Every structure is written in C-alpha cells, then in structure tokens.
Amino acid sequence: MSSSKLRQPVVRHSRSRGAGSPDVWGIYEPDTGSIQYICADPATRKAALIDVVWNLDPKNYRFSTNSMEQVLDLVQQNGLSVEWILDTHPHADHVMASALLKERIGAPTAIGEKVANIASIWAGLYNLPDAFDPARDFDRLFADGETFRIGDLEVRVMLSPGHTLGSVTYVCGDAAFTHDTLMQPDVGTSRADFPGGATEELWDSIQEILALPEDTRLFVGHDYGTDARDEPEWEATVAEHRAGNRHVKDGTRRDDWIKLRNKRDATLPLPDRILAALQINLRGGRLPTAEEDGNNYLKIPVNRF
C-alpha cells in the first residue's frame, strides 16, 4: 500500500511508563508516510522535536508549514518547552523543518556528525563543491555514544548506518527513535541503496537496536500501511520485532536478509522529493541563497540515477 492511501494526519500519545521513561507523541504526515516525534520529560515538561517535516508539494514546488504547525500546536497544548530540534539523518523523502523551527522557537538543531560525509558525496553528485557545511548549518553534530539531556532524561546517540552512512538512533530511557532502519514488524526493514548506504551496515545497525532491552519502545521513521491494515502504525517493542518482524525476527540469517534486501532495493524508484530534499536538508533545512531576482533555485542532476 502506498502512502497515498493513508490520507489523514494521525496523532498518538505513547505515555511514560514511570521514572526515566519519556512521553512520546507521534504525528503522522500522510504525503510522505513520515512520522514526526515529540519526546518529553514528564517531570520537567522539557521536550525534543524529532524529524519534523517542512511540507513540499513536488508537483508545483511550493512549500507549506502545516505539519510543523501541527507539531508546535501539540507542544503548546501540552505545556512543553522545546530544548532540542533533532534529525536522525538527511532525509531523502521529506524536507526537514529544523531551520524554520529554530527561527520560531530558538532551540538548537542537531544531527549525527557523519552528515559531513554524506554532504561530501552529494556535493559531488550535484557538482556543488562549496554548497554544504553541516558545522555551519547545525548547532550540534553528535558523535556515536555521545549523550545529552531532555530535562532530567539522558539521551544516548547510537550511530546506525546503512540507510545512510550517518544515520543515528536516539535512545531516551525506554524509547528509541530508530528512523529508517526498521519498519513496523508486519512490513520489515528499510532500504539501503542510496549513495553511501550499505546493506551489510544496516543489518549490523538493526542488530544493535534489537539488542536493547526487550521492553524498549521502538519508534520508526515511516509507515505506508499494508494490504491488511489501512491505519498507520509506528510503535512496537524490541520483543515484538524480535518475535515477528517479517525481515529480521529471531532466527533470521544475515546472508538471507542481505539477499532479500538487495533484491527488494533493486526494484525501488527514487523518492519523488529526494533531489530537492537533500539539497535543502544538507543545509540544515534551508533553501539555497536567493539569486539576483529574489528567487531560490534548486539544481537537479540529469541522467545520474
């Protein structure tokens, strides 16, 4: 099932389980099948926003902020104060709202430090050698194993390459934001065929995630529904994935999964927003500088993919 069949935004609250456990709101963005997250400390009401979408209509190349406004409305309704604006990786299928959010609420932006390596790959593909400077465009570049806080809650950064070479997972208490590694158990896993991606690395990243405590809530980056369900889902525990993930449940052989994943990836087209999105996301969610006529322009490689 494509994301076009799941047309309505959906919001769900995964409640804290007690001390050290965050409140998590998932906000489904139907045009791209993306899930945006609010992760909050129930005690201090401090929060982080994760993978928030800046809406792009790829037919007319016009932007809107509907999804961002929905997230900020939830922040206000729940009396939260945002401490961090986080992204798990430079997204290929949606444009990140991080720079706009920083302008609006003033919180720092952050992503994994290996975004610099991703920027180098795409600077070559776009023939834009000086366009991207992640150290300039993000306030914090997290290293593998680095920690920071949301209120009184500690968050650990796990490097989780494979989908991209610089993807990171944020682990906060019994919640882990696993981005484009796993899909829901009835779907399986995510693709690993973008430049810099690697199927073997994605397997290793998924195994590290599935080694977290079994009651850890895993929050995935995308859902498109299935033939058996027409409602989006994005939360399942480590135990549920290990028991029933159709690609990587316990007992799955590494070589079998790599063969399956590579065969599936060979059939997948590029996401319709990728060549626009990465030019913006590698600038931290900013458009290229306006030209002398006051308009912004994107550069699209032809016959490269």
What is the chain's pLDDT, residue by residue, as a tens digit (305 residues)? 334 456 678 999 999 999 999 999 999 999 999 999 999 999 999 999 999 999 999 999 999 999 999 999 999 999 999 999 999 999 999 999 999 999 999 999 999 999 999 999 999 999 999 999 999 999 999 999 999 999 999 999 999 999 999 999 999 999 999 999 999 999 999 999 999 999 999 999 999 999 999 999 999 999 998 989 889 999 999 999 999 999 999 999 999 999 999 999 999 999 999 999 999 999 999 999 999 999 999 999 999 88
State CA 285 to chain mean position distance: 13
Superfamily (CATH H level) for 3-281: Ribonuclease Z/Hydroxyacylglutathione hydrolase-like (3.60.15.10)
Beta-carbon contacts of 298 under 8 Å, excluding residues fewer than 6 positions away, are 61, 275, 276, 279, 280, 288
Q: Do residues 83 and 41 lie in contact, with contact meaning Cβ atoms separated by under 8 Å? A: no
pTM attached to this predicted model? 0.96
Task: Give the phi and the psi of residue 275 in degrees, each rounded to 5.
Answer: -70, -25
Other beta carbons within 10 angstroms of residue 111's beta carbon come to 29
In angstroms, the CA 240 to CA 230 distance is 20
Find all residues with CB under 8 Å of 23, minimum gap 6, and list them. 13, 14, 15, 16, 38, 39, 40, 41, 42, 78
Q: Provide the residue ranges of all domains of the chain, joining segments of one domain with +.
A: 3-281
